[in-house]
Amino acid sequence: MTSTLATAVASRVDRYPSRVGLPASMQERDDPVVYAQDYRPAPITRAQVEQYREQGFFVLENGVSEDRLGRLCDELQRLRSSPPDNDDAARVYEPGDNTLRSIFSIHTSNALFAELAADPRLVNIARFLLDDDVYIHQSRLNYKPGFRGREFFWHSDFETWHVEDGMPAMRALSMSVTLTENSPNNGPLMLIPGSHKHFVACDGSTPKNHYIQSLRKQEYGVPPDDILTRLIDEGGIAAVDARPGSIIVFDCNTMHGSNGNITPSPRSNAFFVYNAMSNQVGEPYCNRPPRPEHVCTRHSVYPLQAGGGRIMSAQHDIFNSANEPEKNQ
């Protein structure tokens, strides 16, 4: 880091300091949850808006048609069955073996999932809740394979995106599109209702290239047991039981995690992070080099055009007249 850049980073006001060598602590959220001021043109119900505001998430049933879901699942299996490629940084494998865990930046490498990311229903919900144009900060396919799918411990995505990516404010949200059955038994997404109203500052400091290990198993940016106990005592735990084709919408700061999957049934989903255009990332607050583009969109930032199809940047554009998928929904 150059001295000029280091000075600029040091001069920023960090409203959510974490991993700065102090003990873990909790502070009140300093940003709105729902940015929209007018509910009348809302693409979701008033009840869903209020659940998102108070609990930090809601679930849309039947968000994807059966026909589209079938094509997405076929593509999911095709990608899963391809030979392991340890040289592909976007592919993450379970610790200790070659079982595929995730494929990152799926919206820049696959036409079907790029089209899903730009679906008008998803984009318009994000635009409404964030009251801004939006872009994809991160995307991935999560596989959670049967018998070998590992757990992912409690964490706030915003804590990581703030510290390691330089996301300034809590003006982002995630959408998890369920591609398989999400049952109480196969390691479903679990959330702590109301946890998004607090920011948990974690102890320790961020190691160099921390993202390589954290995508497999996160050890930094993990809240301590006493704070998690307090949050769970206040809000409980919501394990999402959802049919394929559902859409789980949750705030960037909602504490969440998942158990391991020791059942035969995989739990797979497509995961898209929508960030407000006014909330683009800057230099990481941890004074480490930025994470790579497949983990954090930094250079290819442009507002999503709902249903427009072409959401990928020129250098990543895989659409052409020969392979552009049929429009659906």
For residue 310, pLDDT beyond 70: no
DSSP state of 136: E
Percentages helix, strand, coil for the chain, rounded to the nearest 5?
30, 20, 55
Give me the chain's average pLDDT, please: 87
pLDDT of residue 142: 93
**Confidence (pLDDT) at 88:** 82
Please give the distance of CA 143 from its chain centroid, rounded to a whole number. Answer: 14
The answer to whether the CB of 251 falls within 8 A of the CB of 58 is no
Mind listing the pLDDT tens digit for each residue in 19-65? 999 999 999 999 999 999 887 789 999 999 999 999 999 999 999 99
- Model confidence over 101-148: pLDDT tens digits? 899 999 999 999 999 999 999 999 999 999 999 999 999 999 988 888
Our CA dihedral for 261, 262, 267, 268, rounded to 10 degrees, sits at: 80
DSSP line for 179-226: SS-B-TTS--EEE-TTGGGEEEE--S-PPTTHHHHHTT---SS---HH
Quick one: what percent of the chain has pLDDT higher than 70? Answer: 85
Question: Of all residues in the chain, what percent carry a pLDDT higher than 90?
Answer: 70
pLDDT value, residue 4: 46
One-letter-per-residue 3-state SS of 48-60: HHHHHHHHCEEEE
Helix or strand holding residue 251 (H, E) = strand 247-251
Spatial contact of 168 and 279, defined as CB atoms under 8 Å apart: yes
Please tell me the predicted confidence (pLDDT) of residue 205.
Answer: 82
Query: Please, what sign has the CA dihedral across residues 179, 182, 185, 191?
Result: positive
Ordered domains of the chain (ranges, CATH): 15-35+49-82+89-305 (2.60.120.620)
DSSP, res 41: T
What gap in Å lies between CA 137 and CA 274, rounded to an integer?
Answer: 6
Mention every residue, 6+ apart, whose C-beta is less than 8 A from residue 245.
62, 63, 64, 65, 66, 69, 177, 178
Check pLDDT > 50 for residue 234.
yes
Element (H, E) at 10: helix 3-11
What integer pLDDT is reported at residue 191 of this predicted model?
98
